[in-house]
Amino acid sequence: MKDFNNLLASERKFTVQDQVFSWRDVRPEVLTTFETDTNGNDPNAVWDLMDRQILLFIEPDQHDAWKALREREDKPVTIGQMNAILTWLMEEQTGRPTEQPSPSAPGRGKTAASSKAAGA
């Protein structure tokens, strides 16, 4: 029997600015909130959207801790950290590989034997 349970991520915690958060799986429908919102001329709309997206994954009892961390002036969560966290959570959730594919030579590949018809 094919077991799809092994597709679930095993790492369920991450640390940012010395604070540990746990994340959970979400239904695919939840991910549709990742569609780009248009929010008028608000220059901070992108950060608000990213916070809402990250909160979709973080355990509900840790939402206040994330919000407090984001409001800190001292040792703030950086743009790079937010991007990396959101990307990592999406990759873990969707089962997409997080590593770059191995390099391959450009052009057509070569085979060990000729492609001519067998027995020719």
36, pLDDT greater than 70: no
State pLDDT tens for residues 70-116: 988 878 898 888 888 999 999 988 887 655 656 666 656 555 555 55
- Predicted pLDDT at 67: 95
Measured distance between the N- and C-terminal CA atoms of the chain, rounded to whole angstroms: 44
Q: Which amino acid is at 50?
A: M
- pLDDT, residue 15, reads 95
At 22, the amino acid letter reads S
Residue 21: pLDDT band with limits 50, 70, 90: very high
- Residue 1 to residue 116: CA distance in whole angstroms: 40
DSSP 11: -
Number of Cβ within a 10 Å radius of residue 37: 12
Averaged pLDDT, 51-78 = 92
